Amino acid sequence: MKFKINNRFRAVLGCLLAVGLLFSTPSLAFQQDSLAQETEVSAVADTVEEGDVDTAATELAATDTASAAAGEAVAATTTTTSSASSAATAADEESQIDPQVYKNLTYYILLFLILCTIVAIVCKVLSIYDLTRKMNGRYNPFANNTFQSVLFLIFLVGFLAMLYYGYAVWGSWAWREAATEHGQRIDTMFIVTTVIITIVLVVIHLLLLSFPFIYRMRSAESRAYYYPHNDTIEKIWTIVPAVVLTILVLFGFFTWRSITNVPEELQKSAIQIEVLGEQFQWQVRYPGNDGTFGKRNYKLTTPMNSYGIDFADKHAWDDIQGSDIVIPVNKSVRFHIISKDIIHSFYIPDFRVQINAVPGMTNYFQFTPTITTEEMREKMDDPKYNFVMLCNKICGSGHYNMQKNVVVVTEEEYKTWLSTQGKYFTEDLQKEFASADSGDAKELTTASLN
């Protein structure tokens, strides 16, 4: 009797939940809101039409002069009333929460309750099924072991298939040739590391997911073999990973050292480019004919001198402002990387370049590009493809848009482009600087011609 009463109660509760879910679905609520809005719009339209008829009758009864005056007054009154109504409506909309929010909340609560009810019913059915088999003497307590171990094998097959798919499809899609000399060494290190960890990944999953099937409990007489200790096995699984990781760490260390430890003579002979990161843009500065950057002081930052260049240093007078990062192919380029505000990250994926831009210090990265932009576009079969320098640190709301094109050209094209770029020491800055120090006016005039 109690069982029947509980079943009836659950059936009634399920019907109530289903009906509530039907009437609280977002689509139905949206239709109700749309109908209500259409009714309101119709009422407003009728009101506006009645007002137009009254206004027309009033204008026909009045004289021309009085009509004009009355029209201006009505227009002013209407404008004032409309503004007040709009302000009141906006205030009401801000102070009230859309009823749709409550309807959606109710819908998802009821949906959750129904899912819980379904899960409870399925579990109860399974328990009744097991109880029935026990009563009939056909229950096998070890059958579930075989079922779960087979699920492990199915998962293993699916895992290996997805691993192959990831390497075969997405790997070829994401991987492309490095466009710099040092990038080949980075790629070699990456491939070696990937091969090793892939072998470990496959072996570990083969053991983890096949052992539950091989050593599952098949009968009541089965007993697990108790194997508490083995020095040899423990030495193997301790020493082998330690050696492999040590080799990988040393491999990475010496690779990075060979890239960043550049001899001093090569540092001086390379093309010098300074990149300043700030929220949320990059600024690029090339040295002028003297080959030396002017000094920079953050205290000198102004709306006109956002870079903070110290124009009291004559080396700054011919510094060039680059619209993009343009570099010649097969020429060594040394980047001076700085930040104005917070930590950014100088990142060019195609060049295998990444190093932080830290406020208060200068980091350096020197490399030699080996592929021009046009050659890369031909390889990618994409005439719009560009090398892009990104910020690889989440530096704020505009982080996603903090990028600048990197264009690799021939040496002749590079010189032509450089000659067309403007200087940081613009005429406005020259006037501002000259007013602060009129004694150097003659030298400033000479600098503007360089």
The β-bridge relationship of strands 333-339 and 271-278 is parallel
Report whether 17 contacts 117 (CB < 8 A): yes
Q: Going along 52-132, which residue ranges are E strands?
A: none
Residue with tokens 């080959």, as numbered in its chain: 291
Amino acid present at 434: A
Residues 336, 339, 342: CA angle, nearest 5 degrees = 150
Alpha carbon distances (Å) from 259 to 182, 263, 362, 366: 6, 11, 17, 8
pLDDT score for 440? 46
Ordered domains of the chain (ranges, CATH): 2-136 (no CATH), 144-220+227-260 (no CATH), 272-449 (2.60.40.420)
| Cβ 126 vs Cβ 144: under 8 Å | no
Task: Measure the CA–CA gap between 82 and 76, rounded to whole angstroms.
Answer: 10
Assess contact for 433 and 311: CB atoms under 8 A: yes
Tens-digit pLDDT string for the chain (450 aa): 444 445 555 656 666 665 565 555 554 444 444 544 555 445 444 544 444 444 434 443 434 443 444 444 434 444 444 444 554 454 555 567 788 888 888 888 999 999 999 999 998 898 888 788 778 877 777 777 888 899 999 999 999 999 999 988 888 777 888 999 999 999 999 999 999 999 999 999 999 999 989 888 877 777 777 888 889 989 998 999 999 999 999 999 999 999 999 999 999 899 999 999 998 889 999 998 888 888 888 888 888 888 888 888 888 888 898 889 999 999 999 999 999 889 999 999 999 999 999 998 999 999 999 999 999 999 988 999 999 999 988 888 888 889 999 999 999 999 999 988 888 888 777 777 776 665 444 444 444 333
Residue given tokens 């997405």 in the structure block: 170
Interstrand relation of 281-286 and 271-278 (parallel, antiparallel or unpaired): antiparallel
- What residue has token string 């899609």? 173
Q: Which of 10, 25, 30 is nearest to 108 (CA)?
A: 25
Query: What pLDDT score was predicted for residue 245?
Result: 93
Q: Please count the other Cβ atoms lying within 10 Å of the Cβ belonging to residue 242.
A: 10
CA–CA dist 446, 450 (Å, integer): 7
Alpha-carbon gap, residue 208 to 202, rounded angstroms: 10
Q: How far apart are CA 252 and CA 197, in angstroms?
A: 15
Question: What pTM does this model have?
Answer: 0.63
CA distance 296 to 305: 10
Give the DSSP H or E segment for 333.
strand 333-339
Q: Which amino acid is at 274?
A: E
Extract the tokens encoding 266. 């090569």
Cβ-proximal residues to 306 (8 Å cutoff; 6+ apart), any chain = 283
- Spell out where 137-222 has E strands: none
Are the C-beta atoms of 121 and 6 separated by less than 8 Å? no
Tokens of 428: 């406005």
What are the helix (H) ranges across 96-142? 99-136
Note the pLDDT of residue 13.
Answer: 61
Which is it for strands 353-357 and 403-409: parallel, antiparallel or unpaired? Answer: unpaired
As a residue count, the chain comes to 450
Omega before 159 cis (within 30°)?
no
Contacts of 337 (CB under 8 A, 6+ apart): 274, 275, 277, 346, 355, 356, 357, 362, 363, 364, 365
Residue 365: strand, helix, or coil: strand
Rounded CA-CA distance 337/361 in Å is 9
Dist. CA 43–CA 388, nearest whole Å = 57
Which letter does DSSP use for residue 96 in this model? S
What's residue 138's pLDDT?
76
In this structure, are residues 273 and 284 in contact, taking their beta carbons and an 8 Å threshold? yes
Residue 107 in contact with residue 26, Cβ under 8 Å? Answer: yes
